[in-house]
Amino acid sequence: MLEEIDLRVQKLMRMVNQQTLRHLDGSSYRVATKSSYNDLVTTIDRQNEQAIDRQLREIDPGCRILSEEGFGDQQINDLAGHVWIVDPLDGTLNFVKQHNHFGIMLALYVDGYPTLAYIMDAVNQDLYHGGNGWGVFKNDQRLAGPINANLHDSLIAISSSLVLDDVANLAQVARQASGLRMYGSAAMEMIGVLNGELGAYVSHLKPWDLAAGRVLAEELGLTVKSIDDNGISVLSSNLVLVATKRAGQDILDRTD
Ligand code: IPD
Ligand code: CA
Ligand code: CA
C-alpha cells in the first residue's frame, strides 16, 4: 500500500512542480503579505496546496493533512494514523524575487513515525524522496549519504535572523565553519545537507519546513536535533539542526 502511495505522490510532486514553473515569468500571479513585509504568500502557494491536498485525499483516503496555507484539516493536535504535512511552495520570497531556489515539500507520518518524504528542487526539477527503510533517492538514483565532515571542514547554512540576532551563539558557530551560506529556502538547505553540499543547516522551522527534511535526513543516518533542549515536535516550531554526525556534535558543543 505504501509503495502505491509513494509512486502516486511522486507523480503528484512532478505535476505540481510543472504547474509552478509555468509562472516563473512573475506576471501571472498575485502576491500578498502574511506576518510581515518579507513573509509572502502568492496565488501559486494557494493553488499548489489546494491541488496537493485534493489529490492526497484520493491517494490516501482517510488521511489527515496539515498544510501551511490552511486548506488542510483545521485542527491537528496529534499524529495518530496517516498525517501528511505539506509546504506547497517553500522559499516563496525567492520564487517572487529570484525566480530560483525554491521547492515543494511533503511528508507522511504514520502514527507519529517519520515514514515517507518528498522535496522538489523546483527549478532543477530534481525530486528527493524516500523513507520507510527504502533509502533516499534523487530522482531514480539512490543517495549514498554525505561523508561525515566536521564543522571546520563544512559549509553550513544558518537562517539569516538567527545569525543577525546571534541566537544561541550561532554567529560564533558560523565563524568556525569553512563558510556560511544562506539559501533562503528550507527545502533547498535540506537538500544541501542530504547531498553533502552543506555539513549542517540550522533554523527555526515550522512543521511544514521540517517534516520532510527530517524523514530523509534520518533515513540517511544524519543528525536531526533540537538545539534548545525542547526536543523535536513535528506539530510545533523547532530551533533545529540537520547535520552530519560530526558537524552536528560540534555545533551542539558550541551553542548555548
Ligand atoms: C520559509 C523558508 C525560509 C525559512 C523560513 C520559512 P516559506 O518558508 O523556508 O528559508 O527561513 O523559516 O518560513 O514561507 O517560503 O514557505
Ligand atoms: Ca516553508
Ligand atoms: Ca510555504
- pLDDT tens for each residue of 39-78: 899 999 999 999 999 999 999 999 999 999 999 999 999 9
Domains of the chain: 2-142 (3.30.540.10), 155-254 (3.40.190.80)
Residue 24 and residue 125 in contact, taking contact as beta carbons nearer than 8 Å: no
Pairing of strands 141-142, 136-138: antiparallel
Average pLDDT over residues 230-256: 94
Average pLDDT over residues 208-231: 94
Average pLDDT over residues 24-36: 91
Percent residues over pLDDT 90 in the chain: 95
Q: What is the Å distance from ligand 3's center to 92 Cα? A: 6
- Check pLDDT > 90 for residue 231: no
Place of cell 530560483: 100
- Check pLDDT > 90 for residue 229: no
Question: For residue 211, how many other CB atoms are within 10 A of its CB?
Answer: 25
pLDDT at 15: 98
- The CB of 87 under 6 Å from ligand 1? The reply is yes
Q: Give the residue ranges of the annotated binding site for Mg(2+).
A: 68, 87, 89-90, 209
pLDDT at 73: 97
H helices within 28-141, ranges in order? 43-59, 92-97
pLDDT at 160: 96
Give the span between the Cα atoms of 31 and 46, in whole angstroms: 11
Give the pLDDT band (50/70/90) at residue 27: confident
pLDDT at 161: 95
Average pLDDT over residues 18-39: 92
Give the pLDDT band (50/70/90) at residue 228: confident
Task: Give the rounded distance of the alpha carbon of 89 from its chain centre.
Answer: 10
Kindly give the number of the ligand 1 atom that is closest to the alpha carbon of 159.
Answer: 11
Kindly give the number of the ligand 1 atom that is closest to the alpha carbon of 161.
Answer: 11
User: Rounded to whole angstroms, what are the CA distances from 219 to 23, 116, 132, 144, 253?
Assistant: 33, 10, 8, 11, 24
Tens of pLDDT, residue by residue over 103-134, are 999 999 999 999 999 999 999 999 999 999 99
- Chain-wide mean pLDDT for the chain? 96
Tens of pLDDT, residue by residue over 152-189, are 999 999 999 999 999 999 999 999 999 999 999 999 99
pLDDT at 22: 96
